[in-house]
Amino acid sequence: MKEAIKIAKDLLVVPFEGCAKVLPNGMVAAYPDPGSNGDPYTIGFGTTGPDVTPTTVWSMAECEKRLEAHLIHFATGLIKLSPRLVSAAPRRFAAVLSWAYNCGLGNYRISTFKRRIDSGDWAGAREECVKWNKARGRVMRGLTRRREAEALMMR
């Protein structure tokens, strides 16, 4: 799991989430969701939650700490929902972790994407993965690129 978390962080999550709104003093400010231009507000490397508001400002160290904690949280959640992921190739686990970090464990739990993974149908999982490229019903270029990168990692 540790290798998969590192792969997800370095190759998928950080490059696609980025760390927007770095202020001149090095602190990081929250910003509105690109899909809704409002809630949920995001900070650092895609962190959302009740403690992230339009006025939230964190240090870069806090952003990195939250990213690590969230990746562990999502990896643990994925293993509970899909125990077979433990034996998946680290790159595949990393791709699913990136997807879940972005789309949520609730969406993963009810998805055909999960059903394909649970049955070992990685080709089908790749097909399902790329369908999740919309925010509020609109196809987003960044999400399309991210889903394509995740699908490639599942080969």
pLDDT tens sequence across 54-94: 999 999 999 999 999 999 999 999 999 999 999 999 999 99
Output the pLDDT for position 31.
94
Task: Kindly tell me if the per-residue pLDDT of 8 is higher than 90.
Answer: yes
Alpha carbons 4 and 100: distance in angstroms, whole number: 13
pLDDT band at 34 (very low <50, low <70, confident <90, very high): confident
Output the pLDDT for position 38.
83
Task: Kindly tell me if the per-residue pLDDT of 20 is higher than 90.
Answer: no
Output the pLDDT for position 136.
82
Alpha carbons 9 and 3: distance in angstroms, whole number: 10
Alpha carbons 12 and 131: distance in angstroms, whole number: 17
pTM value surpassing 0.75: yes
CA 38, chain centre distance (Å)? 19
Task: Kindly tell me if the per-residue pLDDT of 51 is higher than 90.
Answer: yes
CA 62, chain centre distance (Å)? 18
SS3 (DSSP) at 59: coil
pLDDT digits (tens, 9 = 90+) for 96-111: 999 999 999 999 999 9
Domain architecture of the chain: domains with CATH: 2-17+63-153 (1.10.530.40)
pLDDT band at 33 (very low <50, low <70, confident <90, very high): confident
Output the pLDDT for position 86.
94
Q: Report the residue count for the chain.
A: 155
